[in-house]
Amino acid sequence: MSTLINVPKNGGLTRTNTDRSSTLPTLSSWIEDIFNRDLPSVFSQNFNTGMSLPKVNIKETADAYFVEMAVPGLKKSDFQIDLDNQILSIATEVEEENETKEQNYTRREFGYSSFKRSFTLPETVDDGKIKANYNEGILSIHLPKKEEAKQKPPRNIKIS
């Protein structure tokens, strides 16, 4: 008698008995089969499948950090940007309601979407000079460095 391990769609392991000598299933095999079946997709899926976090590009230069986030279809008033204890949080919450009235019916659709991204800023950021801009679907945040943290250009030291 050999035992094979099958990996079903939901990622769990089940055992399959390849011994063909018994044709009737036993009570224990029925119970095992019930618990090892593929779970309904609602249990094996991520509940946030319809939502995704926007992609972020972070770039450092000698003078500043730049955060860019692609979030098309929003208005600048949809964003809330907060700084609390060196943690920069970018959030949005949008509710939509569309209603179409035709001769014989009324169709109403509701929509809700939100996200929040948080970043721990280095202590070198001058938090009093942070600026944000939203243009053509791109949220840009300029995080200037403190004067003492800015990279100085290399210089030649003469030997005396």
Across all residues in the chain, what is the average pLDDT? 76
Please tell me whether residues 74 and 110 are part of one structural domain: yes
CA distance 107 to 127: 47
Question: Considering its fold, how many domains does the chain have in total?
Answer: 2
- pLDDT for the residue numbered 105: 75
Amino acid at 130: I
- pLDDT for the residue numbered 52: 73
The pLDDT of 53-70, averaged and rounded, is 91
- pLDDT for the residue numbered 69: 93
Please tell me whether residues 140 and 64 are part of one structural domain: yes
Please tell me whether residues 68 and 113 are part of one structural domain: yes
Phi, psi torsion values for 73, nearest 5 degrees: 85, 5
Judge whether residue 64 has pLDDT over 50: yes
21: containing domain? 3-44
**pLDDT > 90: what percent of the chain?**
34
Please tell me whether residues 15 and 73 are part of one structural domain: no
Residue 51 lies in a domain: no
Please tell me whether residues 21 and 88 are part of one structural domain: no
Comparing C-alpha atoms, which of 77, 75, 51, 56 is closest to residue 119? 56
Residue 108, CB-side half-sphere exposure with 13 Å CA sphere: 2
- Dig out the tokens for 77 from the structure: 């008033």
- pLDDT for the residue numbered 46: 42
Over the stretch 70-108, which tens digit does the pLDDT of each residue have? 998 888 899 999 999 999 999 998 887 777 877 777 777
Please tell me whether residues 36 and 78 are part of one structural domain: no
Please tell me whether residues 73 and 130 are part of one structural domain: yes
